[in-house]
Amino acid sequence: QCVRQQDRQEQQQGSGSKEGMAGHQCGSVLVTGANRGIGLELVKRFLGKPNPPKTVFATCRDPEGARGQELKSLTSKHPNLKILQLETTDPASVEAAAKKAEAHLGGSGLNLLINNAGIMPPCTLESATSKDMLDVYNTNLVGPMLVSKAFLPLLKKAAHASQQKGMSCGRAAIINMSTILGSIEKTPESYFFIPVVSYRCSKTALNMLTKCQSMGYKEEGILCTAVHPGWVKTELGSDQADLTVEESVNGIMNVLCNLSEKQHGVLVTWEGKVLPW
């Protein structure tokens, strides 16, 4: 439906954009790891929507540092952009960000939480150490768990206040940025090309977290979905990747627009296809 509305709008405006969610009103969204890569592009897309969210929380580890400057430069054009410091592995930082978001929302809830921050250091079965494994788990699994927990009261508030009946990103949702590399069933297709053992294991665990969240938050009406963005040209994905950030995020925006109960507790690709766990 959103794509059809977007198509109509594009025809009227003569725009070539393929971005979805045009007809989808989402009051507030929060993206972690938003200072570069997929996270930054998601923030730009939400801000650029014809009906942008009232608040876009873009969080990053060091908003004042060199890596925060591109994100910071967007604030002059977008008063609805609120940048928050958030180191996803630090409980104090996560709690402080949740408190700031709550104060900023002034009684409203948070509609959409995108757990995007992640790392993928090289790691083989031969090289893996205890520290390597735990560091990656900390960022890719513990981080999304802590952030989801801290923002849960705001997500619940949004779900309860919403006029919408079913599940959707416009009502209340947790999106965990996962990967096909975390799919156990798909591992034989890519293992020898890119082993990254710690990353694969951490994302498989993130998939399980998504499934657990989908069970635990179903009654609250909070949609929980894991998304594989494709192989994307970012620092993490490298220059060799298949997709530009724009192509991947075009797809993700369309997917977010169309998510419903059907994708609750499911891993879907940037094109909306269901992947096996």
Q: Does 179 engage in binding with ligand NDP (CB under 6 A)?
A: yes
Q: How far is the CB of 27 from ligand NDP (least distance, A)?
A: 24
Question: Look-up: residue for tokens 């978001």?
Answer: 101
Asked if 35 is part of the footprint of ligand NDP (rule: CB under 6 A), the reply reads yes
Residue type, 166: G
144 is an interface residue for ligand NDP by CB under 6 A? no
- Contact code string over 205-224 relative to ligand NDP, x by CB under 6 A: --------------------
Give the relative orientation of helices 143-161 and 197-216 as an angle to the nearest 10 degrees.
30
What part of residues 99-118 is at the interface with ligand NDP (CB under 6 A)?
116-118
* Residue owning tokens 């439906």: 1
Bridge partners, residue 85, by sequence? 60
Candidate residues 4, 54, 67, 160; the one interacting with ligand NDP per rule CB under 6 A: 67
Binding-site residue total for ligand NDP (CB under 6 A)?
Answer: 32
Cα torsion 234, 240, 244, 249 to 10°: value is -60
Question: What is the nearest approach in angstroms of ligand NDP to the Cβ of residue 236?
Answer: 3
CB atoms within 10 A of CB 7: 13
Is residue 170 near ligand NDP by the rule CB under 6 A?
A: no
**Are the C-beta atoms of residues 171 and 150 closer than 8 Å to each other?**
no
Q: Which is nearer to ligand NDP, 128 or 161 (CB)?
A: 128
CB nearer ligand NDP, residue 158 or residue 275? 275
Sheet hosting strand 266-269, strand order edge to edge: 81-85, 55-60, 28-31, 112-115, 173-177, 223-228, 266-269, 274-275
Summarize as ranges the residues that interact with ligand NDP (CB under 6 A).
Answer: 32-33, 35-39, 60-62, 67, 87-89, 116-120, 139, 143, 177, 179, 228-229, 231-232, 234-237, 241
